[in-house]
Structure 1
């Protein structure tokens, strides 16, 4: 009797697992993001010109930028979709092409997706999902218990440090879905691994994602881990894209360059942006980690050195000459050791400090001045 009951339970469980892990969602219809061009993908500056659906740079740049930059541009950091739906459940399926995790980031931050709901009250609430499968060739994430009539819309963030393909979005057969867009000029961020999202535990906790939820502007994230070097090709591309604000946060990746090179790259970035956008606000950011006290201070000296060159650039090229250039000082970001995971890359706490205590405060001041 016991054996019979055990096998009945085992069979029932295996059927349930098969339902979740297989393609057997009889009450769902599937949206293929690669094929369905009605889906509005946000966080992309050149969405009509990409090779793969979730790339961040236009395809014609493949041979114009360094190989490392192109590889990182295929990571979907900062890409998201906004939508409304009356489906009580959603299923996401996709594949990823890189490593599941990194030494300084979790698997979910690197390869996972993240969802928030904007409520009628104006508050953002995180939406809990369940990874039914977490495999390179079959990621499957289930959101259930949805259908709250106080939700204005959902925002789904794509992985911070991986390139994805074969993305399928499942909703109930009888449900509706409407993809939202934001026609406002974006905030364009050009930066380093910190801008790309290291080391947030989830995609929605990168500072650019937090900033996006707190402003009305769409965000374009051009953070390239170890490769935010203020290179001419990237600066030229960004300058031609109209924005509400440009954020240049590249100093952490300029520590390998000599003083004059750091200075000249900053000068080129300012002049090129101003050639195309004479009055658009530009935020240049100091190397934030310069405020952290370390016993082994060799890297600290590098941080301070690039900041000295940066401040020389501001004094020579900006002060008294361009009132639409703003500086975010390291002291304003105010990262401490507990705000990072390794003395460099922000933890979730550090990401919040970056977004809310520094960038958002400065952007609100810029917005107030423009009124």
Structure 2
């Protein structure tokens, strides 16, 4: 192809894109719209989970993962027939067992008849990204929620709409942000390995409850860090879900659990706390060492739970995990980390318990 023909072809392609869009887009800084899913605004940049008070206090990778954005979402309303985004990631992370959309992409939902409905994702290409999520919609004013990456952070984020359209602050409080639910745990809590951000169990649970759910999952960690216990006492949460046992040995549990719980109990004595067992993931059925680890972990958790109750911690609850992932072994990507199916089953399994505990906390 000659250079002249190539230039003409590119020009025609661009014109077709503009024609399909109807008109050019105008971008708005997402910093100007509400962000849900944070415990503190005193962070190193807007799109981060851990406050500056944890810098130097948390272990290196807890701090790094605390700059990732699982559970964070931007709320806005617009009547645009097209919605686009520009975003720059912090780490340009990639993972061999997790879809790139889940790692560092975005996920758009719309509020319809009081329920959040999935629209489409924004696919990442690298550190710097730009693209149209959806076009050719009706020009109706709708409420939107844009979920941020699960295993990467955001440096900058812009929302694009048609020049003639309006973008404004959300008019509906959904999810409800008063007295949020906190989920504390490991890589699975952080969102590994959902195909897209909206399918992490914390985000599914938030939509089911219509309640803000703060994601304090840290891949490879969840070691009952005392500074995280302190962070949990902010914002007067209604329920704390403790989904950490898969990364904690019996000795670490015995050493750290009582101080961890006392930090929470001293500052927010009315909060309801739900301990969840290590799920019997498929790998544990065939790998004998993994199977032993699951059994030993759950036995240690049961023992610690009983001891805490004896010592006067009354707002503690315990959920067995044997049926949370189903019986067919199809809920994980690698025998351990959840697929979307696994996250959906897990969220639906814990939902009725968490809903009941919210009602109990707010009586």
What is the TM-score of this pair, normalised by structure 1?
Answer: 0.86
For 1:56, the equivalent position in structure 2 comes to: 49
- Compared CA separation, residues 291 and 345, structure 1 to 2 (3 A): closer
For 1:353, the equivalent position in structure 2 comes to: 345
Consecutive unaligned residues of structure 2, counting only runs of 5 or more, are none
- Compared CA separation, residues 17 and 268, structure 1 to 2 (3 A): farther
Does residue 227 of structure 1 match 2:221?
A: yes
The within-5 A match list for 1:58-73 is 58-73=51-66
Structure 1, 203-212 or 137-146: larger mean CA deviation: 137-146
For 1:15, the equivalent position in structure 2 comes to: 14
Per the TM alignment, residue 99 of structure 1 is displaced from its structure 2 partner at its CA by 4.1
Per the TM alignment, residue 96 of structure 1 is displaced from its structure 2 partner at its CA by 1.6
- Compared CA separation, residues 191 and 12, structure 1 to 2 (3 A): same
- Compared CA separation, residues 233 and 368, structure 1 to 2 (3 A): closer
Instruction: Kindly indicate whether the alpha-carbon contact (under 8 Å) linking 1:211 and 1:360 is maintained by their aligned counterparts in 2.
Output: yes
What is the TM-score of this pair, normalised by structure 2?
Answer: 0.88
The within-5 A match list for 1:262-281 is 262-281=253-272
- Compared CA separation, residues 30 and 139, structure 1 to 2 (3 A): closer
Give secondary structure in 1 for the equivalent of 2:179: coil
The within-5 A match list for 1:1-371 is 10-16=9-15, 27-33=24-30, 36=31, 38-47=32-41, 49-120=42-113, 122-129=114-121, 131=123, 134-147=125-138, 149=140, 152-180=142-170, 182-254=176-248, 257=249, 259-289=250-280, 293-318=284-309, 321-336=312-327, 337-356=329-348, 358-369=349-360
- Compared CA separation, residues 280 and 28, structure 1 to 2 (3 A): same
**How many residues get paired?**
355
Give secondary structure in 2 for the equivalent of 1:44: coil
Per the TM alignment, residue 174 of structure 1 is displaced from its structure 2 partner at its CA by 2.5
- Compared CA separation, residues 288 and 236, structure 1 to 2 (3 A): same
Q: Following the alignment from structure 1 to structure 2, what is the Cα–Cα distance between the partners of residues 323 and 106?
A: 41
Give secondary structure in 2 for the equivalent of 1:333: coil
Q: Following the alignment from structure 2 to structure 1, what is the Cα–Cα distance between the partners of residues 23 and 153?
A: 29
Structure 1, 182-191 or 133-142: larger mean CA deviation: 133-142
Q: Following the alignment from structure 1 to structure 2, what is the Cα–Cα distance between the partners of residues 16 and 62?
A: 49
Instruction: Kindly indicate whether the alpha-carbon contact (under 8 Å) linking 2:33 and 2:75 is maintained by their aligned counterparts in 1.
Output: no
Structure 1, 267-276 or 61-70: larger mean CA deviation: 267-276
- Compared CA separation, residues 147 and 7, structure 1 to 2 (3 A): same
Consecutive unaligned residues of structure 1, counting only runs of 5 or more, are none
Structure 1, 315-324 or 79-88: larger mean CA deviation: 315-324
